[in-house]
Chains A and B, each alone.
Chain A
Amino acid sequence: MDPVIESQHQRIPWRWVLLLNILGQARLLVLFASGSLTFTMRKFIDSPMIINSVSSLDIVFNLLVAAPCLYYSDRIWTRHGRRMPFVVVSFVVLAVVLILLPLAGGAVPMIVLIVLWLIFWDVGSTFDTLMMEIIPPGQRGRSAAIGAWMLNAIIMISAVVISGRFDDVVHGSLATLRGEELIYWWGAACLIFCVIFLVLFVRERKPLGHPPPSAGNGWKGAFESIFAEKSLWPVYLLVFSTILMQTGLGAIDPLLMTEQWGYSKQDMGTNVFVGGMINMFIVIPLIGLIADRMDRLKMFSIGVIGVLVGQVAYYVFVQFILPDRRPSITHMIIFGQLMSMIGQFSGIAMQPLIFDYIPRDKMGTAQAGLNFVRSVTRLVTLNGIGLWVTFYSKMFLPVGKYDYFSGYLFMIGMNLLGCGFLFYFARQVR
């Protein structure tokens, strides 16, 4: 009688897989709950520039915290395992942060808590590795399918039940509960569930092989080796340009819908719910059908040009065709799904295209370099869009008002710039 789930087995019972997927989804529910961070920040911070800057710290900590934690978790062993200490510490701190977050009475404690949140979320990035060490390769395919099904279910629950609750206040006979507390404490409860699950029922077994050797030379050496290889520069340029083209509004996106267009957070949830259903039942099967019948380079070109055309069309439609410059939820879903569909064309074609230009013996270095370029570019574009919206609004709007939709101009600009770099890339590799 031992119900403990262990790592390092060649085959495991399917009930383990099911339980681990429930565990994984509980963690993702926390991530969805953290989607309300924009609204928590908005309570104390007006400037979209600062809101996006705080959010973009996520990318910094991805580089500074997640990468070292993952690196060291490969090379240590404790009596509690090598991934578990990171995960458990991370989840406990995150739960405390989420409990305190809705009680923060000012901008400073709130930002401290959000920074702690971002740091410790990355400390817990060894969670996925732990899952992969428990689920053997032969069972990962079906596990991913179970996970995908559960993910869709929790997206629906988050969109319809949770995301719209932020502003609610329920005066129960025992206590008063604010929606913000409900959302974050729900997230904390999910984390506590994960901690109990991991501590009582998951055990890491020591791997049989030796840990991989240290890279040596520290950060500097690693950084230099990434960029020393000149043959990889065009690939970095390719990724840089595609990330430019994927620039989004970031944390200010929900503010466009709620503050500028006057929709409620529940409307936002409806948008995600209906969009998700269309995506699941129409867009993804359609893409799958077309993807097998089309040349990858052609798909990539359609994706790149299509997204740019879609953004321009959406901007023109809202700004110049809609009489009150305010799209309905249906408009948002139609444009959102169209752009998502077109975007998936380039997404599907992108990965193989990149690796076509990387020599086999440099794939590891290239992967590290690609991650670095992606992170830095995202950091720049996220902060750039916050700056743009702030200054555009200062120029053209009365004091205290923000035109979040002007961010689309920045997005279109970045898309054009990305297209320019892509054209240059195409000429270089021809």
Chain B
Amino acid sequence: MNDDRAPRRDEDSSADLGEPILELADFTESPRPGFAGRVHNSIHRRLLASDLTDYAWFTPIRIIAEYLGMLFDVFDGQPKKRGDGNA
């Protein structure tokens, strides 16, 4: 890729270029004031949406993990042996 904003002039014959064409290289327009702030707001909205999506994914997984943990606690993590509790 070319690093400069100006075109590679060696690819063009001098007849191709000229006064009005060369003006295009320096032609810029400014966006409305507060452009950077609007970009920030857009980034923050995406970050918030991403956090909410993560939360929505991980909350059910956390709930299931907690539930399994409770089950293991109830049974003390040991499977019952056959005949246990019967005379």
Answer yes or no: are A and B bound together in one complex: no
Q: Which residues of B are interface residues toward A (Cβ below 8 A)?
A: none
